[in-house]
Structure 1
Amino acid sequence: MKNMDILLDEFMIYCESKNLSKKTMMSYEQTLRLFFNYLNEEKKIVNLSSISEKIIREYIIYIKDRGKYTVVGDKNSLKINKPEIRNDYGKKVSLTTVNNYIRNIKVFFNYLKDQNYIKKDIVKNIKQFKNDRKPKGFISDEQMSELLRHIDTTKFHEYRDYIIIQLLLDTGMRISESLAIKVTDLDLNYRSIFLTAENTKGKKNRYVYFSQIMQRGLKRWLQYKDRYVESELLFCTSKGTQLLIRTFEKKLRDYGKRISLNDICPHQLRNNFAKRFLMCGGNIYTLSKILGHSSVKVTESAYLDLTDADIRKNYQNFSPLENMNLKNKR
C-alpha cells in the first residue's frame, strides 16, 4: 500500500482530470487531511490497509462530538488564525458539515476500490445523518425595496452592487457566476446571459434570462461603467479588476444591517429567486435548468422551501374548478 499522502495526491489529480471545481477539490483535500491526522495521532495508523469500517465510524463520532475549529489539519495554522478567539469556537459541529465529511471520505474510498488499492468496500454501510434542513430566510417585497433604497447609487461601487443584487434575484445565478460575466456574454436584445463552463459549478455552458426591468437597469449600468472604467467585465472594481466574492458578500451584509436585515447573503437571493419562480407558476424542471443543477432531485432538496401558506396561496391561482368554464358555476 502506498503512502497516504501519495494516495491523496493521486486522488486529487484524478479529481482534477474529472474537471471538478476548485471548491469541491478543496473540500475533499481538507476533509482527508483532517482524517489522516486523526489516524496518525489518535490511532497510530500510517497505512490505509489498516483502516476498517469501525475506525471510520469512530472518526465520524469524534468529529461530531468535537467542537468547531478544535480539529485542524495543520497545527502551525493555530498561531496565525487563532481560532480560539472566534465567537463560535468549540460550538457543536453542524450535521451538514459532518455529512460533508462522510460524503468526501466515501468518495475517496470508492476511488481506492475502483483503482484496486483496496479490495473491500468499507464505506458501503456508512450513511449520512438525517438532517432536517431549515428553510432559508425569505426576503419580502418590502424588505427588498427598503434594501435597494438604502444603497447609494451615486457611488460607483454601491451602484454596481445595486445592479448585482437585482440581477441575482432576477436570474438565480450564483455570485461566482455573476462576477465572472464579461460584457460580451450579455445579450440585451434577447435578455440573456451566456455563462461559460469554466465559470459554472457544473462545468457546463448555460444561459440565464432576465426581465425587461433588468434590461433597462443593465443598459444604464453599462453606460455609467463605461464612462469611468475600461474593463471587459460586466461588474468590476473602480480600477477595472475583478470583484472578489468575499468583498461583495461583506458589502451585502453591510447593506442588510442598514435596514436590520441581518446575515443576508448572495445565496439567499438565489434561493428567493427559486421560491418566487415556483410561486409564480414556474415548473421545477425549468427551474432546475436555469439554476444549473445536475438533476431535479438536487433542486428539490436544496430549494423547495415552500411553506403551507405558500402552497395555499399558490393553489388558489391554479385550482382546477376555479379555472374550468363550468355552466353551473355561480
Structure 2
Amino acid sequence: MSSYEQTLKLFILYLKNEQEIEEPNKVKAGHIRQYVRYVQERGKYTVVRNEKSRKINWPEHRTDYQKKVSNVTINNYLRNIKVFFKWLHNEGEIQKNPLETIKQIKTVRRPKEAITEKEFKNLLEQFDYTKFHGYRNKIIVMLLQDTGMRIGECLALKVDDIDFKHKMILVTKTKGRKERYVYFSRRMLRELKHYIKFRDRYTSTKVLFPTTRNTEMSVHSFEKQLKKAGSRIGLSIHPHQLRNNFARQFLMNGGDLYTLSRILGHSSVTITESAYLDLTHEEIAKKYQNHSPLSNWKI
C-alpha cells in the first residue's frame, strides 16, 4: 500500500507541475511515456512530494542521490499506475485506459546469489542465543530458510498456527490474502518446540515472534537486525534471499515446480519458474546427474 501511495503521489505531482493535468480523464498514453523518460532523466531522490520532508530525510546526503533510476524500479512504477487506471476504468471514471498500450521496459535479470551452507551456519552464529531477541531472530532465520515464507507472513504468525503433529503451519497474512500451508522439517520441529518453551518465560502474547515489548515485530526492524548480523561476517543479506534460497535448495534436492509453487503461494507455476534462472551451470549439472534416466535404470 505504501508503494502504491508513493508512486501515485509522485505521478500526480508530475502531471500537475509538468503537464498541468489534474483530471484523470485527460491523461493520455503519451503522458505516460513522457513520465517514463522524465524519471529516467531526473535521477534518484531528486523529486519529493513534500518539500518539508527534505529537512527531515536529507535526500542530498544519500550515497545514491541523483543516480540513475533502474528499469526494474520504473517497471514497478508502471505496474502501480496501471492498477490505479484499471480501477478508474472499471469504475467508469474514465472511458479509455491510457495504459493499455504501455509495455514494461525490457530488463536484464541479475541472478540472485545463493547462500551457502557455511554462510548460513556463520549467520546463525551471529545471534546471541542467551538473549530472547537473539534466539528469536535465529529461529526466524531458520524458519524462513526451511519454509520459504515471506518475512511479513512469518512475523504475523501466532503460536496456534503451528500444527506440530503434521509439521505444517497455517499462513493467514499472505500477499494475495489467500491462506495456505507451509511445511517444516523434523529439525525445525525440535527448534520450534525448544524456542516456544524459552519464549514463554518472557511473554504471554499469542504472537510467535514478539518484540521485547510483547508486540508484533515490524518487517523493517527485522530487516535491519538481519542486515547487521550479516555485515559482521561480510554477508549482504535480505529476508527475501532466504525465501529464494529455499526455492533453490528445494529444486536442487529433487522438489518439483508445482509443489514449490503451492508452498511459496504463487498464483501460477510460471512465476515460480524464475527460481530455475538462478541455478548455476554446476547446480544444473548436479541436478541432472541425480535424475538422469539412464543412470537410474537397471540396464
TM-score, L = length of structure 2? 0.95
Name the structure 2 match of 1:137: 113
Displacement after TM superposition at 1:264 (Å): 0.6
The amino acid across from 1:259 in the alignment is I
Name the structure 1 match of 2:137: 161
2:166 paired with 1:190:
yes
Displacement after TM superposition at 1:154 (Å): 0.9
Name the structure 2 match of 1:51: 27
Superimposed CA distance per residue, residues 173-203 of structure 1 (whole angstroms, 9 cap, x where no aligned partner) = 111111111111111121111111xx11110
Name the structure 1 match of 2:78: 102
Name the structure 1 match of 2:193: 219
Deviates more, 1:300-309 or 1:67-76: 300-309
Give the SS at the match of 1:228. Answer: coil
Deviates more, 1:61-70 or 1:164-173: 61-70
Q: Give the Cα separation in 2 of the matches to 1:298 and 1:309.
A: 23
1:307-322 to structure 2, matched below 5 A, reads 307-322=280-295
Displacement after TM superposition at 1:127 (Å): 0.4
Superimposed CA distance per residue, residues 237-273 of structure 1 (whole angstroms, 9 cap, x where no aligned partner) = 2232212211111111111122111x21111100000
Name the structure 1 match of 2:216: 242
2:231 paired with 1:257:
yes
- Say whether the 8 Å CA contact 2:248–2:275 is kept in structure 1: no
The amino acid across from 1:277 in the alignment is F
Name the structure 2 match of 1:290: 263
Q: Give the Cα separation in 2 of the matches to 1:160 and 1:107.
A: 37
Once superposed, what is the RMSD of the aligned Cα atoms? 1.5
Q: Give the Cα separation in 2 of the matches to 1:209 and 1:178.
A: 13
Give the SS at the match of 1:207. Answer: strand
Displacement after TM superposition at 1:74 (Å): 2.1
Displacement after TM superposition at 1:304 (Å): 4.0
Alignment partner of 1:281 out of 254, 263, 286: 254
- Say whether the 8 Å CA contact 1:271–1:303 is kept in structure 2: no
Superimposed CA distance per residue, residues 12-67 of structure 1 (whole angstroms, 9 cap, x where no aligned partner) = xxxxxxxxxxxxx3322221211111111111222333322112111111012211
Deviates more, 1:213-222 or 1:65-74: 65-74
Aligned positions, number: 299
Displacement after TM superposition at 1:152 (Å): 1.8
- Say whether the 8 Å CA contact 2:25–2:95 is kept in structure 1: no
Q: Give the Cα separation in 1 of the matches to 2:145 and 2:20.
A: 51
2:16 paired with 1:40:
yes
2:272 paired with 1:299:
yes
Give the SS at the match of 2:169. Answer: strand
Where in structure 1 are there 5+ consecutive unaligned residues?
Answer: 1-24
Give the SS at the match of 1:251. Answer: helix
Give the SS at the match of 1:76. Answer: helix
Name the structure 2 match of 1:15: none
Quickly say closer, same or farther: Cα 1:125–1:226, change in 2 above 3 A.
same
Superimposed CA distance per residue, residues 257-302 of structure 1 (whole angstroms, 9 cap, x where no aligned partner) = 22111x2111110000000001111011111110111111222236
The amino acid across from 1:284 in the alignment is L
Displacement after TM superposition at 1:303 (Å): 6.5
The amino acid across from 2:286 in the alignment is K
Percentage identity across paired residues of the two chains:
54
Q: Give the Cα separation in 2 of the matches to 1:119 and 1:113.
A: 6
The amino acid across from 2:107 in the alignment is N
Alignment partner of 1:83 out of 59, 66, 72: 59
Q: Give the Cα separation in 1 of the matches to 2:131 and 2:250.
A: 31
